[in-house]
Amino acid sequence: MSTPAYRITPARVLRSEWHKLWTVRSTWITLIASAVFLLGVGILMGATYTTDGGDSDVDTVVLSLYGSQLGGISLAVLGILVTAGEYSTGMVRASMTAVPRRLPVLWAKAAIFTGAVLTVSFVTALVTFLTAQIFFHGTDQAASLTDDGILAAIAGNAVGATLLGVIALGLGAALRSVPGAIGAFIGGVMVLPEILGMLPYDAMDTAVRYFPTQAAGALGSADPMPGAAAPGAALFALCLWAAAALAVPALSLKRRDV
């Protein structure tokens, strides 16, 4: 018996989301902005660095990829646009009509976004590090990809930025509003941990280490950062945050009409 041409399959849903991601200008704008921020700040840090300038105790990968926070905001905006953007344009109704089970649409969006952003983030971080090392040559920040922990930290930086983007994607799907999700990401993910970290409680200091931005920072360092979570624990915490961010809209999709 032949398979109907209109049958919904995971591969077809993934292909649909792939086309949707790459056929809108916002994808290219945010990805290019992320790369420019990371590379531009990396070049600036390398070009202005001097051995006696006071940054000799900073991890060389952290210093090279100092623009990660700016680049990460661009990736977070992309994640929000991938989900909340469809609600703002009304395209989500067509997506849910084409895939009545709904949840495959969310999983496909998350999978395509994760694969694309992880690839772009890793390549950009690698190029930025190598470019910064041209300027760091002959200083105490000179390093090689073969040095202990360097390549793992570059990969960790890309993984951290990607998972933060997935969290933003989940917020966009949950709130269904681009401005609201951006505000929630900046306020709840980036600003709130800084405020909580100022409270005079040891338990709060320990908890803040596992908040998304702090965990992502721990992944992007070649040397253990004082007061930061171990890389394995940080990665586990980030994965839990991303899973929770996706679980909320998944539950909502099961209970609401659209």
Residues 169, 248: contact at Cβ < 8 Å? no
Which residues fall within 8 angstroms of residue 133, CB to CB, at 6 or more apart? 46, 64, 142, 143, 144
pTM here is: 0.92
Q: What single-letter amino acid sits at 185?
A: F
Question: Quick one: pLDDT at residue 9?
Answer: 86
- The predicted model gives 166-177 an average pLDDT of 95
CB atoms near residue 116 (< 10 Å): 19
Nearest to 8 by CA among 107, 98, 110: 98
- Give residue-wise pLDDT tens across range 2-33: 555 567 888 889 999 999 999 989 999 999 99
- The predicted model gives 144-172 an average pLDDT of 95
- The predicted model gives 81-92 an average pLDDT of 88
- Give residue-wise pLDDT tens across range 128-148: 999 999 999 888 888 999 999
- Give residue-wise pLDDT tens across range 115-124: 999 999 999 9
Residue 257 has pLDDT above 60, yes or no: no
